């Protein structure tokens, strides 16, 4: 199968790309110009060095599926409202229409658990039917994009799935995020300042998430005109403090976890745990 992949140099994208290539798929990977990230040479990989807004129909010739991971605002400090909605909604929709015009009928779109926002606190396990109550620019733009994708699927009779990952961690994650910064402190023997750690999360290894995206693109049964929303996670809630203590011990850290040294973020949602459907449907051949 030939797959067009946006966000190929991102944290999740690099892992998805590796899974696809390891399974023998052909991949056209959209690589932003001058982003400083290189991808390995592979006989089944073609790099397309362009900005998303400059992609044209011919770039997708022969592709059968679009996996859309490209997004703006994931990193704190880059989530202004104008940029988030420009990239995550308007430019993304432009990309989807180009794919449709190129004959692609299956779109696998990466949403976000943050689309649920404050409604997450009302559920022990958040169902995909939960209302979307985002609390910031990135969260709201991803929710708007999801709604656009679901409507587009019906209007154009497409195979569309919006996958909402929960708290992904692992190799290649941005250094300023929680797990990498925790690891850096542990390896250096430094203390690590954190919040009270009462936040309840579903932490998902990026390798597991990458496999899920590959299955959605290549094997899952998706009915045209009947889009799906899927939560991607483990379904196992754990507190941020428990997560930190587990990895701190695993790394044999000599420093102290300074629990409660930092305040919670503004508008912090204290519980994000998904209801996870049976994996059987996700991996159906």
**The domain spanning residue 6 has which CATH number?**
3.40.50.720
pLDDT of residue 39: 82
Burial level of 24, CB count in 10 A (0-12/13-18/19+)? exposed
Calculate mean pLDDT across residues 175-187.
Answer: 96
The verdict on residue 102 lying in a domain is yes
What is the pLDDT, as a whole number, of residue 285? 34
Q: Examine residue 268 and state whether it is found in any structural domain, yes or no.
A: no
User: To 10 degrees, what angle do helices 178-188 and 240-250 make?
Assistant: 40
In this structure, the strands spanning 106-110 and 159-165 are parallel
- pLDDT, position 28: 97
pLDDT value at residue 280: 41
Q: Does residue 7 sit within a domain? A: yes
Residue 18, domain member (yes or no): yes
| Structural domain includes residue 177 | no
CA 7 to chain centre: 10
93 φ/ψ sector (left φ>0, alpha ψ -120 to 50, else beta): alpha
In a domain? residue 277: no
Total tally of structural domains belonging to the chain: 1
Q: Which residue has the higher pLDDT, 78 or 10?
A: 10
Say if residue 16 is exposed, middle or buried (CB neighbours under 10 Å; 0-12, 13-18, 19+). buried
**Token reading at 2:** 């030939």
More confident of the two residues 19 and 267: 19
pLDDT of residue 91: 97
Decide if 176 is inside a domain: no
What percentage of residues in the chain have a pLDDT greater than 70?
Answer: 95
Residue 243 phi/psi, 5-degree rounding, is -60, -45
* DSSP-H helix ranges across the chain: 11-22, 81-85, 92-101, 137-156, 178-188, 206-218, 240-250, 279-282
- Per residue in 34-52, is it b (16+ CB within 10 Å) or e — as a string? eeeeebeeeeebebbeeeb
The string of pLDDT tens digits covering residues 24-65 is: 999 999 998 655 667 888 999 999 999 999 999 999 999 999
State the pLDDT confidence band at 190, using cuts at 50, 70 and 90.
Answer: very high
Mean pLDDT within 14-23: 96
The DSSP output letter for 29 is: E
The tens digit of pLDDT for each residue in 109-141 reads 999 999 999 999 999 999 999 999 999 999 999
Q: Residue 267's pLDDT band (boundaries 50, 70, 90)?
A: confident
Give domain status of residue 263, yes or no.
no
C-beta of residue 142 within 8 angstroms of C-beta of residue 149: no
Whole-prediction pTM: 0.93
Structural domain including 56 reads 2-170+203-234
Are 275 and 235 contacting, i.e. CB atoms less than 8 angstroms apart?
A: yes
Give, in order, the Cα–Cα distances in Å from 107 to each of 4, 129, 146: 10, 20, 12
């Amino acid at each position: 199968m030939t797959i067009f992949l946006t966000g190929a140099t991102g944290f999740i994208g690099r892992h998805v790309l590796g899974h696809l290539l390891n399974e023998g798929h052909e991949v056209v990977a959209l690589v932003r110009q001058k982003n400083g990230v290189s991808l390995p040479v592979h006989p089944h990989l073609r790099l397309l060095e362009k900005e998303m807004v400059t992609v044209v129909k011919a770039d997708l010739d022969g592709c059968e599926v679009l996996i859309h991971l490209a997004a703006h605002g994931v990193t704190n400090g880059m989530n202004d409202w104008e940029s988030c909605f420009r990239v995550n909604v308007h430019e993304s929709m432009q990309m989807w229409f180009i794919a449709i015009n190129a004959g692609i009928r299956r779109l696998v779109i990466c949403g976000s658990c943050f689309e649920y926002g404050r409604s997450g606190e009302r559920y022990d396990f958040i169902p995909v039917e939960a209302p979307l109550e985002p609390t910031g620019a990135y969260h709201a733009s991803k929710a708007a994009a999801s709604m656009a994708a679901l409507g587009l699927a019906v209007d154009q009779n497409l195979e569309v799935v919006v996958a909402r990952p929960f708290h992904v961690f692992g190799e290649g994650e941005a250094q300023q995020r929680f797990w990498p910064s925790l690891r850096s402190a542990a390896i250096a023997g430094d203390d690590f300042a954190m919040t009270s750690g009462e936040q309840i999360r579903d932490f998902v290894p990026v390798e597991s998430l990458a496999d899920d995206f590959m299955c959605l693109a290549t094997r899952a049964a998706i009915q045209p005109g009947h889009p799906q929303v899927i939560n991607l996670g483990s379904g196992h809630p754990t507190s941020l403090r428990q997560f930190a203590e587990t990895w701190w011990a695993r790394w044999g850290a000599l420093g102290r976890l300074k629990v409660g040294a930092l305040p919670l973020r503004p508008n912090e949602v204290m519980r994000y745990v998904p209801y996870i459907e049976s994996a059987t449907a996700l991996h159906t051949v």
